[in-house]
Amino acid sequence: MITVLLFAHLREEIGSDKLLIEESGITIHQLKELLYKNYQLASLKTVMTAINESFATEEDIVKDGDTVAFIPPVSGG
């Protein structure tokens, strides 16, 4: 099982800050596709991704027990 942490507008879209996904051995890209299919999260294309608190690429593999965080861009002033 993969724990997915959601921040900012992603959390608001889902209504939760965490999802548990019954998949493993998939890439970040495949995980994003799965979340888009199940939750219509189109904004995942613009987020930074971390696996177990280390930044990750679209090709990195997510294993059982991993925690993936999707971090939207931050703006401020």
The residue to which tokens 């189109």 are assigned: 42
Question: How many domains is the chain built from?
Answer: 1
6-62 per-position pLDDT tens digit: 998 899 888 999 999 999 899 999 999 999 999 988 788 889 999 999 999 999 999
In this prediction, residue 37 carries a pLDDT of: 93
Give a yes or no: residue 77 inside a domain. no
Q: Go through 6-45 and write b for each residue having 16 or more CB atoms within 10 A of its CB, e for each that does not.
A: beeebeeebeeeebebeeeebebeebbebbeeeeebeebe
CATH number for the domain that contains residue 8: 3.10.20.30
Q: What is the pTM of this model?
A: 0.90
On whether residue 76 sits in a domain, the answer given is: no
Domain assignment of residue 63, yes or no: yes
Range of the domain at 56: 2-71
